[in-house]
Structure 1
Amino acid sequence: MSVTIRPVTEGDLFAWHALSTGYGEFYSVAMTDEKAVRVWGWLNDAEHPLQAIVAENEAGELVGLAHYRVFPRPLAGNTGLYLDDLYVSPDARKQGVGEALIAQLRTIAQEGGHSVVRWITASDNDEAQRLYDRVATRTSWVTYDLEP
């Protein structure tokens, strides 16, 4: 499948919402209207760190998205890109869309002078891990969450 990877635009709201909803469903997390409005606002606020790129197929339909942000790396003395969310619609999977989104993030990181693109995934997301193991290096870090 041939796709164009580009930044999300204001006209992408409904297609972005459908992809975000699919991403939430994949992880059994509801994308409520309240959350969608908040995140969409962040994506359209030049002062907010969250950004997004999307994959558009030949028919002009969005088939994938990636949410990312810059993060500081104090021990390294530089910055990196953190990939928060990567989602490809089920009918577009295994056709290079996820890999194209990750490749664009690598380009964005190179152009921005960032030292790494980093992300996490669920330990049981075997399909995604096959892609990630092909394009990146699996680390030995363990992730923790602490509720405030």
Structure 2
Amino acid sequence: MSIIIRDAVSADIDTIHGFILALAEYERLAHAVKADRDMLQRYLFGTRPMAEVLIAEQDGKAVGFALFFHNFSTFEGRPGLYLEDLFVLPEARGAGAGKALLAGLARLAIERDCARLEWSVLDWNAPSIAFYRSIGARALDEWTVQRLDGAALQALAMRHQP
């Protein structure tokens, strides 16, 4: 029952979409999912990919995924990896897939000379927070996430146009 971590390929699009829907359900955000297979295909495997995905397989079956992309630290002067989503099917939890996905990301970060690996977690998700602490992750309590989207994003984009 070993876990294998591999890069996602275009043929994994249905699996990735399914994991996103399952994650949204777990996070009580199913109503917020707008991503469809075509969008994912374009942004993950198109001419200019915007993110990457690792797939965790156990006994030949996909049991989890990690979707990530590069960011950049001006203070470090080096890139980083930002983990947007990590999800393991409930029936596969506890077998090491989540830890294997994070270890795979850590290896990629080191191979790519990244200064760090970062992610966010919902404050009510105690099992995930405990898991992250168990692998040595620390909370950055002095930082809060800010978001600009929808009408506010559009309005700001329209200001100060050249």
What is the TM-score with the length of structure 2 in the denominator?
0.83
| SS of the residue 1:63 aligns to | strand
Q: Aligned partners of 1:33 and 1:76: how far apart in 2?
A: 34
Q: What is aligned with 1:144? A: 145
Given that 1:21 and 1:31 are in contact with CA atoms closer than 8 Å, whether structure 2 keeps it comes out as: no
Q: Which protein has greater RCO, CA pairs closer than 8 Å, 6+ apart?
A: 1
Once the two structures are aligned, what percentage of the paired residues are identical?
27
| SS of the residue 1:145 aligns to | coil
Residue 14 of structure 1, CA deviation: 2.1
Of 5-14 and 98-107, deviating more is 5-14
* 1:52 aligns to 2:57 (yes or no): no
Matches within 5 A, 1:54-73: 54-58=55-59, 60-73=60-73
| SS of the residue 2:94 aligns to | coil
Q: What is aligned with 1:119? A: 119
Q: How large is the Cα RMSD of the aligned pairs?
A: 1.9
| SS of the residue 1:40 aligns to | helix
Which has the greater radius of gyration?
Answer: 2
Gaps of 5+ in 1: none
Letter in 2 for 1:66: A
Assess, with a 3 A threshold, how the Cα gap between structure 1 residues 33 and 11 changes in structure 2: closer, same or farther.
farther
Residue 30 of structure 1, CA deviation: 2.7
What is the TM-score with the length of structure 1 in the denominator?
0.90
Assess, with a 3 A threshold, how the Cα gap between structure 1 residues 87 and 144 changes in structure 2: closer, same or farther.
same
Residue 80 of structure 1, CA deviation: 0.5
Gaps of 5+ in 2: 153-162
